[in-house]
C-alpha cells in the first residue's frame, strides 16, 4: 500500500523558471519562451502550439482570455510547464493534448494510429465532390487502412445516411477508431483484416466509394523524417518496402476491379506519396478505369489520385 504522502511525491511537477506575473500576456510570453527552446521549433509552429496549449489548459480561446482578464492559477502553470517539456522532447501536440481535429470533428489521438492530417481532409473533400455528382441516394463507403477512423468518421459526418465501413489490420488502431465513433455517436462498421490477403465472403455488396490513405513512405526516408513522427507514430501505418512502395495501391486497385470491392461507376480515391502519384495513376490505366486524375494538395505537392470504375 502507498500512503498519500508517497503518492504525492511521485507526481511529476512542472519546473521553473516561472513567469513574474500570472496575467494572460505574461503567461503567453513565458510559454512562448519555453517552447522556443526546442531544437526543432520554428516561430509559426511555436505560436500555434502556444495557442493550443493555452486554450486547452485555460478552457478559453485567446479572445475570451483577454476579455475575461484570465490569470493562470498555480496548477495551470504546472500543467503548462509539463506540456511544454513534453513538446520540447518531440512528443506530438496531438498526443500531448490527447486530441486531434479533422474536418470539424474532435478525435482522440495517441500512438495507436496516425495523427489525422490536413492533406487527408483534401482526399475526403475530393471524393465527396466527385461522388455527389453521381447520385444523392444513400451509398456504401469503405475506408481501407482506417487507423484512427478519421476518413470514415468524416464521411459519416458529411453523409449521415450512408453505410460506412473501416478496415484495418491493427486491433489497437481499430480500438481508437471505435472509441472515436462512440464519442461522436456515429454508427460505423469496423473490420479487423489484412487487406493484402484474400478476404472470404466480403464484402456482402460492392461499395459505391472506396478511400485509402495506406502506408506509402519508403523505409529509406526514415532518416530524413522528424523525431516526433518516426519516434511517436506507428511505423506499420507509415512505411513500406523500398522494393515495392506501391504494394497497397496495387492490392486495393485489384480488389476494387476484380474482387467486388467497388461497384461499376463507383469512385476510388487515394492519398499518395508526392513522388508516386503518377505511378499510382499508371496502375489505373486499364480498360477497368476511367476519369483517372491526380491532384495537388494545398502545399502544392502531388498528393491525391482519383479514378472511376467502368
State how far the Cα of 41 lies from the Cα of 200, in Å rounded to an integer. 49
First to last CA, the chain: 68
Residue 210 · residue 251 · CB < 8 Å: no
Percent of the chain topping pLDDT 70: 94
Return all residues near 100 (Cβ < 8 A) that are at least 6 apart.
94, 106, 107, 108, 109, 115, 116, 148, 150
Task: Give Cβ neighbours of residue 292 (< 8 Å, ≥ 6 apart).
Answer: 281, 284, 285, 305, 306, 307
Share of the chain above pLDDT 90, in %: 82
Query: Under 8 Å CB-to-CB from 137, ≥6 apart: which residues?
Result: none
In the numeric block, the cell 523558471 is attached to 17
| pLDDT score recorded for residue 7 | 38
Distance CA 41, CA 226 (A): 11
C-alpha cell at 16: 521553473
Average pLDDT over all residues of the chain: 91
pLDDT, residue 2, reads 38
68 Cα distance to chain centroid: 34
Name the band, by pLDDT with cuts 50, 70 and 90, for residue 223. confident
Say what the pTM is: 0.88
Which residues have CB under 8 Å from 170's CB, separation 6+? 112, 113, 147, 192, 234, 236, 237
What domains, with CATH codes, occur in the chain? 4-89 (1.10.8), 100-309 (3.40.50.150)
**What pLDDT sits at residue 12?**
64
pLDDT in tens, 185-216: 999 999 999 999 988 899 999 999 999 999 99
**Residue 4: what pLDDT?**
39
Distances (CA, A) of 280 to 18, 27, 37: 53, 49, 41
3-class SS letters over the chain: CCCHHHHHHCCCCCCCCCCCCCEHHHHHHHHHHHHHCCCCCCHHHHHHHHHHHHHHHHCCCHHHHHHCCCECCHHHHHHHHHHHHHHHCCCCHHHHHCCEEECCEEECCCCCCCCCCHHHHHHHHHHHHHHHCCCCCCCEEEEECCCCCHHHHHHHHHCCCCEEEEEECCHHHHHHHHHHHHHHCCCCEEEECCCCCCCCCCCCCCEEEEEECCCCEEHHHHHHCCHHHHCCCCHHHCEECCCCCCHHHHHHHHHHHHCCCEEEEEEEEEECCCCCHHHHHHHCCCCCEEEEEEEECCCCCEEEEEEEEC
Amino acid at each position: 500500500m502507498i500512503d498519500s504522502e508517497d503518492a504525492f511525491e511521485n507526481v511529476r511537477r512542472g519546473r521553473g523558471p516561472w513567469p513574474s506575473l500570472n496575467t494572460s500576456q505574461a503567461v503567453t510570453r513565458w510559454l512562448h519562451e519555453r517552447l522556443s527552446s526546442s531544437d526543432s521549433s520554428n516561430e509559426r509552429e511555436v505560436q500555434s502550439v502556444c495557442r493550443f496549449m493555452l486554450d486547452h489548459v485555460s478552457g478559453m480561446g485567446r479572445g475570451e482570455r483577454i476579455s475575461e482578464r484570465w490569470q493562470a492559477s498555480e496548477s495551470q502553470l504546472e500543467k503548462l510547464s509539463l506540456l511544454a517539456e513534453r513538446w520540447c522532447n518531440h512528443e506530438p501536440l496531438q498526443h500531448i493534448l490527447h486530441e486531434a481535429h479533422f474536418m470539424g470533428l474532435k478525435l482522440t489521438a495517441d500512438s495507436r494510429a496516425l495523427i489525422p492530417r490536413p492533406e487527408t481532409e483534401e482526399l475526403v473533400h475530393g471524393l465527396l465532390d466527385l461522388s455527389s455528382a453521381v447520385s444523392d441516394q444513400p451509398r456504401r463507403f469503405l475506408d481501407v487502412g482506417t487507423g484512427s477512423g478519421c476518413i470514415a468518421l468524416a464521411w459519416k459526418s458529411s453523409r449521415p445516411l450512408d453505410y460506412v465501413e473501416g478496415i484495418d489490420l491493427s486491433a489497437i488502431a481499430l480500438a481508437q477508431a471505435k472509441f472515436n465513433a462512440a464519442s461522436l455517436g456515429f454508427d460505423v462498421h469496423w473490420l479487423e483484416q489484412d487487406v493484402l490477403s484474400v478476404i472470404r465472403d466480403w464484402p456482402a455488396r460492392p461499395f459505391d466509394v472506396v478511400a485509402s490513405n495506406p502506408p506509402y513512405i519508403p523505409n529509406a526516408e526514415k532518416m530524413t523524417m522528424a523525431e516526433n513522427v518516426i519516434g511517436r507514430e506507428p511505423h506499420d501505418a507509415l512505411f513500406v518496402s523500398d522494393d515495392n512502395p506501391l504494394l497497397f495501391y496495387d492490392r486495393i486497385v485489384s480488389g476494387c476491379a476484380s474482387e467486388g470491392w467497388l461497384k461499376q461507376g463507383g469512385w476510388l480515391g487515394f492519398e499518395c506519396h508526392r513522388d508516386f502519384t503518377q505511378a499510382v495513376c499508371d496502375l489505373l490505366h486499364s480498360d477497368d478505369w476511367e476519369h483517372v486524375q491526380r491532384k495537388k494538395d494545398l502545399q502544392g505537392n502531388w498528393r491525391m489520385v482519383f479514378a472511376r470504375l467502368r
